[in-house]
Structure 1
Amino acid sequence: MPRIELETIIKAEKNIVFDLSRSIDLHKISTKHTKEEAISGKTSGLIGLNESVTWRAKHLGFYQELTSKITEFEPPNYFADEMVNGVFKSFKHEHHFKQIQKGTLMTDIFTYVSPLGFLGHFADKLFLKSYMEKLLLKRNEIVKTFAETNKWKEIL
């Protein structure tokens, strides 16, 4: 099971970073390059416990739909979303937030199981894990930019 763990230091209050990380509207901005849109469930605002969203986006040349649900929620320290329906066999994305002297330490832990058995395992090694890590890094860059400037006020 591939695992991606990323740490991002953000010079902003933990509450702001937490809320930006669960913002459907900011997620749309961070995935503009994949033409991602929320098509059902919670389609704007802040997603919370037991709420789900279905995304439609173009990844690796194909349009795909994926539904994820917030399964764990401890504001403003932690939340997790898990795939309910989509191309992966499963995935879980944990979002951890810790107030530090410089601001907030945001830690993402993303674990997933690819479809197609051996072929999926091969795809992980060849390109998929790297592709997913780049998506998460892009998302974190946008969260950081909005949190460290007054742009967060446009979202929250």
Structure 2
Amino acid sequence: MTKIHLITKINAPINQVFDLARNIDVHQQSTASSYEKAIDGITSGLINLNETVTWRGKHFGIYLKHKSLISEMEFPTYFVDEMLEGHFKSFRHEHNFVEKNEKTVMIDTIEYQTPFGMLGRIFDQLVLKNHLTQFITERNKFIKKLAESH
């Protein structure tokens, strides 16, 4: 199991950051470089508990699909998206939000397993973990810029 842990400090109220992080339209804008598009389930606006979204995006030169369920949510401090269908053996992304003095700390914890045994683990170590870390970091920078510009 691979784990990625990211912390992003944002000069904006927690409610605003929480809503930006679960906004399908914002996700599509922030991941435009990989042509991410919501193609099924909730395809725009805010996603909520027990709702699903299927993403289609271009990674490593090919289009991939990833269906996620919002399996847990506590407004405005926490939500989890978990893969229902996709190319991982398992994928879980915890989003935590902590507010201090009208500023928000956004904490991402991603845990996943790759398929294909040893080959999957080698691909993860050489390419995938860095790709996912950069992908989420860029998304978080976009959310931060959007939140702080309001």
Which range, TM-score by smaller chain?
over 0.9
Equivalent positions of 1:1-156 (< 5 A) are 1-101=1-101, 103-150=103-150
Extract structure 1 runs of 4+ deviating beyond 6 A: none
Aligned-partner residue type, residue 103 of structure 1: K
The structural deviation recorded for 1:96 is: 0.2
Aligned-partner residue type, residue 65 of structure 1: K
CA offset digits 1:28-87 (Å, max 9, x no partner): 001100011110000000000000000111001111111001000000000000000000
SS in 2 for 1:12: coil
Aligned-partner residue type, residue 132 of structure 1: L
SS in 2 for 1:57: strand
Backbone CA RMSD of aligned residues: 0.7
Question: Identity of aligned pairs, percent?
Answer: 49
SS in 1 for 2:29: helix
TM-score (ref. length: structure 1)? 0.95
The structural deviation recorded for 1:102 is: 6.0
TM-score (ref. length: structure 2)? 0.98
Task: Please list every run of 5 or more consecutive structure 1 residues that lacks an aligned counterpart in the other structure.
Answer: 151-156
Task: Please list every run of 5 or more consecutive structure 2 residues that lacks an aligned counterpart in the other structure.
Answer: none
SS in 1 for 2:56: strand
The structural deviation recorded for 1:115 is: 1.1
